[in-house]
Amino acid sequence: MEAAPTTSYWLDVLALVYFFIVWALYSHTTANGFAGRKSLTYEMNQARHQWMATMSTRELRMIDTSIMIGLQQGTGFFASTSILAIGGCFGLLNSSGRVLTLFHDLPLLGETTQQLFETKILGLLVLFAYAFFKFAWSYRLFNYCSILIGGVPMARDKGPDDPIVIASINRAAGINIQAGQHFNSGLRGIFFSIGYLGWFLHPLVFMITTTLVAIVLLRRQFFSTARDVLMRNGVTSDYSPRGK
């Protein structure tokens, strides 16, 4: 007869469910606003569209391609970092017994078996794998955006209100915004993995670190100086497609 789940087991389950709820709520809030305020990400999406509209008036677009190269390099860096983190998780799995022996004297470690400890490592590995796939797709979308930039006709030749020019701008801006949103999702996975580390100590610590990470990210999105700068100067475009 199997033993009934212990209180510690249900506390671990509660902490993990709380982690994903906070993550989902943060993602929803970033996309839809908080207390009537638009997020920093929303404002930057407007700036991305304005960038594409301004780009259509330039005959030589070396500036725009240089920006795209910079965006791709940053995305590639984080993708490579995620791969290294995944490798680190596999290394930790290989030596989980020794690590657990070193940690067993910590006062907040709680009831942790080697099986549970390895399960937590696998969860951390999944987070980094999620981040990697987001960064990799973002990198590819930035590549697609570079091609679309090359296909945007000169607004001076056809006129800024020409439907072909507008459609080309919207396509380039839409892919650029999608790339940025996937990049942000990858970063979100990295940030929340910091909160996830609290689970290695205790489920309650896990919930606290998850909450602290969410508070820091919410502050940056809705109450940061960077957002205030964008709001003060204003962005005229109202284009903001939802990402997936």
Residues 140-159 have pLDDT tens digits of 999 999 999 988 888 776 66
234, 41 contact by CB (below 8 A): no
- What token pair was written down for 179? 């790339």
For position 118, what pLDDT does the model report? Answer: 87
If residue 220 lies in a helix (H) or strand (E), which one and from where to where?
helix 203-222
Domain boundaries, the chain: 38-186
Residues 88-108 have pLDDT tens digits of 999 888 887 777 776 666 665
For position 87, what pLDDT does the model report? Answer: 93
Q: 0.75 cut: is pTM over it?
A: yes
Give the residue among 132, 122, 136, 134 at the shortest CA–CA distance from 196: 122
Residues 54-96 have pLDDT tens digits of 998 888 888 888 999 999 999 999 999 999 999 999 988 888 7
Residue 206 to residue 85: CA distance in whole angstroms: 20
- pLDDT band of residue 202 (cuts 50, 70, 90) is confident
For position 86, what pLDDT does the model report? Answer: 95
Furthest CA-CA distance within the chain: 80
